[in-house]
Structure formats: C-alpha cells, structure tokens
Amino acid sequence: MSGGNFSLEGGFWSIVAVQTPGAPLLRVVLTSTNTVIVAWPAPSTGFSLQQIAVLGTTNWSGVTNSRTVVGSENQVLIPLPVANRFFRLKSP
C-alpha cells in the first residue's frame, strides 16, 4: 500500500527508496540471489547513496558498497538485510 509520501510494506522486512525532492529517482529490485539492487540514472553528478534503519531519525550514513554503472544507470548491490532499510540520494 502506498500514497503521498509514505508506503506500508507487509512481511518481516522492507527495503524502501525514499525520494528526495530534486534528486534522481531511485529504483529498488530484489534479485533471484536474495540480494537487492539499488539503482538510479547515470550520470547523477553530486549525489551519494545513503541508508538508515529507522525513518524519522537524522543519522543517515553513506553506503560503502561499490557502485557500478550498468547501461544508463548506477547500481549498488546490497546483501538482503535482516531488518528495515531505507535509501536516499543526497547532494551536499
């Protein structure tokens, strides 16, 4: 279920892309090998991928996994988390 600036995910874990106004659109895909690809258009100069476990807090941290350019998008492969994880693109 989703609408406006929120989404509700069923199950025991969720991975959500939080859209930052003015930032490129994030895409999140579960792979067949139980990993997650977080992707956004390339090039997206000046933006970095950040993550957080709990929305509403301010301790976003940079994702340290390697970024790969595949076709026309940047992709980061993330191991399947055991809890919620939220992602955003941030420009300084």
Per-residue pLDDT for the chain (92 aa), expressed as one digit of tens each?
A: 444 554 544 444 455 566 677 788 888 888 888 888 999 999 888 899 999 888 888 899 999 999 999 999 999 999 887 788 888 888 87
Exposed/middle/buried for 28, CB within 10 Å: 0-12, 13-18, 19+? middle
| pTM metric for this prediction | 0.74
Question: What pLDDT was estimated at residue 1?
Answer: 42
Domains of the chain: 11-90 (2.60.40)
Q: Read off the DSSP letter of residue 37.
A: E
Alpha carbon distance 84, 53 (integer Å): 6
Question: What pLDDT was estimated at residue 77?
Answer: 94
Question: What pLDDT was estimated at residue 34?
Answer: 85
